[in-house]
Amino acid sequence: MKPELAARGDGSLVAIPYDGSFSLLDTLKSGQLFHWESFRFGEFDGYAGCIGGAPPSFIAQLESGAVLTLKGDCERVAGYFGLDHRMEEIHATFPSNDPVLRAAIAYCPGIRIVRQPVWECLATFITSSLKQVTHIRAISMTLRQRYGVAHQFGGRTFYAYPEPAVLAAAGEEALRQCSLGYRAKSLHLAAVAIGAGRIDLNAIEREPSLSRARESLMQLHGVGEKIANCALLFSAGQWGAFPIDVWIERILREHYRKRVKGPKLQQWAVKHFGVNAGYAQQYLFHFARKTL
DNA sequence: AGTCAGGCAACGC
DNA sequence: GCGTTGCCTGAC
């Protein structure tokens, strides 16, 4: 038993059961998560990172497909990576006569919609505006290292995403020093509003109505349709949310002959792809990035 | 050197 | 309602 793992059970790994197809690598690369780091645990190569304020979690996937995690983390990790999703039921809600979506699923069948803590998801996507993945990752890591709670794990240090009150106290200028540019203002204002309880993320997470939840988030400066939809899809279980970025717009234009934009395009997508449109979006997004 | 990237808000019509 | 423009920053 490794001493640093003593806080969580006996430090041994267990397999998380799941249905259908799951690819840890595709899910980590899918643009939903930006802070997981390669990590070797005993004989297993996997990834480690913080989920909310909890001590770092470890996850690995064997060639057999089996997913391993620390015994005490099983439930948290399974929920986070969507391993409890019933994929057959989700796929059954997709349009049956859509060859593009079919091809996208065949291309990366193992992608899951993750379920992150709402604040770190929202905050990360606020900082993602007009940025590339590598830079989003760099910003996330800087914010974590400067303002997040540090945890020792396996001889390394991992950082939780900083709480709203901490970023609010840091101030806009300090956030700007994390390469945030004009996004510093948005992140700071969001941290202030949420820290002060003016925006209640717990209530938004529980809100059953997608449009009401989205309206609430869009009150925040710097949060438009796209970022609100990302936050709700990747952290609140709102699988009907359909974020439209340049890649999705591209694939809808080139493969579905849709030339409209904005809310019209979104309405069409939700009608076409159904109640789990956001899940379809994730397959299409990955497909578009690789093939367009 | 200039352009562009996984958006948004503010402004003009 | 629509379309246009500025915005921080780093990568190419």
Angstrom distances, CA of residue A286 to CA of A3, A17, A104, A181, A281: 40, 25, 8, 28, 9
By C1' distance from the Cα of A180, the closest nucleotide is C8
Tell me which H or E stretch contains A13: strand A13-16
The integer distance in angstroms from the CA atom of A58 to the C1' atom of C8 is: 35
Cβ contact A83:A26 at 8 Å: no
**Average pLDDT taken over every residue of chain A:** 94
The integer distance in angstroms from the CA atom of A173 to the C1' atom of C3 is: 33
Task: Assess whether A1 (CB) lies less than 7 A from strand B.
Answer: no
Q: How far apart are CA A292 and CA A235, in angstroms?
A: 28
Residue A2 binned pLDDT confidence (cut-offs 50, 70, 90): very low
User: Which window residues (207-236, chain A) lie with Cβ within 7 Å of strand C?
Assistant: none
- Tell me the two tokens of residue A106: 């065949």
At residue A97, the pLDDT reads 95
At residue A1, the pLDDT reads 44
- φ, ψ (nearest 5 deg) of residue A17: -75, 150
At residue A259, the pLDDT reads 84
> Up-side HSE of residue A102: CA atoms within 13 Å toward CB?
5
Q: Using the predicted structure, report yes or no on whether residue A64 has a pLDDT greater than 80.
A: yes
Task: Assess whether A133 (CB) lies less than 7 A from strand B.
Answer: yes
Q: Using the predicted structure, report yes or no on whether residue A6 has a pLDDT greater than 60.
A: no
Task: Assess whether A202 (CB) lies less than 7 A from strand C.
Answer: no
Residue A131 binned pLDDT confidence (cut-offs 50, 70, 90): very high
pLDDT digits (tens, 9 = 90+) for A167-191: 999 999 999 999 999 999 999 999 9
Average pLDDT over residues A220-228: 96
Cβ contact A120:A188 at 8 Å: no
- Of A92, A93, A32, A82, give the one whose Cα is nearest residue A270: A93
Q: Using the predicted structure, report yes or no on whether residue A7 has a pLDDT greater than 80.
A: no
Cβ contact A16:A83 at 8 Å: yes
At residue A9, the pLDDT reads 60
Angstrom distances, CA of residue A89 to CA of A43, A82, A258: 35, 14, 27
The integer distance in angstroms from the CA atom of A182 to the C1' atom of C8 is: 5
DSSP string, A114-158: ----HHHHHHHHHTTTT--HHHHHHHHHHHHHHHSPEEEETTEEE
Task: Assess whether A181 (CB) lies less than 7 A from strand C.
Answer: yes
